Chains A and B, each alone.
Chain A
């Protein structure tokens, strides 16, 4: 019987924990696993695993930079930089300098609350989104300089999350306007355009879309929503085909009836398991359904963890490394680290 076992409950934040992100450069070659968490208490905490006890401890607190809630955090692919998005309308870039985290750059441009931040696969571009309904793309320049490449306007409401495709420079954003929009650089001179909008007419969500995650191959995407469903989308194997242009995404299936409150977070592991975290305080895990009939469900529930937290679960994230560990962040102010025992 598969089980999701709680390894540790981490306290430290003094307000709700909004988001967390595992450092992708950790968890292998003897480097201890590290993740960052951010909170309504305006701080970011860095947690590191002790290789002998296997337990996590808070290694650093990044404070006195953001003046309001820190809503989202993201490590660069190299694991050297951490970007944090805040309701104070700024995005900060932190660099680990000999164990100390220093704020090396501040990205200003959004009119109000920044909701999410994400690096592209090569670490050369950064995307941010805001309540001001816009999505900004920034280029990473030498010397910790960041310059705005493009401002994408298309969403009719608050943009909740931005996510780059795992291999291609294609950006995805989801919003309070119930849509997922796909953005690509059409020409050669910063010409980013909306190439697809996935909404209700395309079997899309009927309420706020909160999160997006991709499978390891990058040909499937899962989204979660306030409409209490999870939706899986697919595209041709190569996102941007050479000469063939953009390959559109289409609805594959809808998973309904698993959560009875808003689903805030979804994350697909490299092993093909996707986890969802919701306002019903529970975590669900889903896998490919091998015995699925032609018209039957393509994904099945692997496991449900009721009362995973005392309050809403805002974020669930699988760790890098050989044996993935799941971490969850909640309104109850704690982070929990879980081990999947097959």
Chain B
């Protein structure tokens, strides 16, 4: 014989389980949606920045093709290194551990070429460190 009060005694447990299932599936949906948004945003940013460097390198390479003496040997070397880095970038493999290293290296080489060519080019999407801290400097 079932106890008359059985169902009411388990009430707390039942509701807990229902709430848990509801929360779990809600979390799964919103989590996926959020991840999708972050993925779109980061993917867009990475693509845009890589595209920017790709464009610069293509123009510089064309310039060198027309006039091999237009840039210094050192600048030409660094432009060649940028070309290699862009080709090496694992676009379809965002979880590749090399991703950040290649991007950092590209940013550095880009700064070196700009300095060497005496041009003030800046990738607009580049994360600014100068805006974060404007405290007193020593």
In this assembly, does B70 line the interface, its C-beta being within 8 Å of a C-beta of chain A? no
A-contacting residues of B (Cβ < 8 Å)?
72, 74-75, 77, 108, 111-112, 114-116, 118, 120, 129-130, 137
Could you mark each residue 49-87 of chain A with 1 if its beta carbon is under 8 Å from any beta carbon of chain B, else 0?
000000000000000000001000000000000000001
Q: Are A87 and B108 neighbours in the complex by a CB distance under 8 Å?
A: no
Query: Which one of B112, B120, B130, B137 lies within 8 Å of A148 (CB-CB)?
Result: B112
- Which residues of A lie under 8 Å from residue B114 when comparing CB positions? 109
Which residue of chain A has the shortest Cβ distance to B104 in the bound complex?
Answer: A153
Per CB-CB distance, the 7 closest pairs between chain A and chain B, nearest first, are: A109-B115, A148-B115, A148-B112, A112-B130, A113-B137, A151-B108, A147-B116
Query: In the complex the two chains form, what is the Cα distance from A107 to B118 in whole Å?
Result: 9
In this assembly, does A132 line the interface, its C-beta being within 8 Å of a C-beta of chain B? yes
Q: Are B129 and A108 neighbours in the complex by a CB distance under 8 Å?
A: no
Q: Are A108 and B115 neighbours in the complex by a CB distance under 8 Å?
A: yes
In this assembly, does A190 line the interface, its C-beta being within 8 Å of a C-beta of chain B? yes
Query: Which one of A69, A149, A151 lies within 8 Å of B74 (CB-CB)?
Result: A149
Count of interface residues, chain A, beta-carbon cutoff 8 Å:
17
- Which residues of A lie under 8 Å from residue B120 when comparing CB positions? 108
- Which residues of A lie under 8 Å from residue B108 when comparing CB positions? 151, 153
List 11 additional A-B contacts (Cβ < 8 Å) besides A111-B129, A149-B74.
A111-B111, A112-B129, A112-B130, A113-B137, A147-B74, A148-B74, A148-B115, A148-B116, A151-B111, A153-B108, A190-B74
In this assembly, does A45 line the interface, its C-beta being within 8 Å of a C-beta of chain B? no
User: Given A69-B137, A131-B137: A109 and B112 within 8 A (CB)?
Assistant: yes
Which residue of chain A has the shortest Cβ distance to B109 in the bound complex?
Answer: A151
Which residue of chain B has the shortest Cβ distance to A18 in the bound complex?
Answer: B138
Query: In the complex the two chains form, what is the Cα distance from A150 to B137 in whole Å?
Result: 25
- Which residues of A lie under 8 Å from residue B112 when comparing CB positions? 109, 148, 151
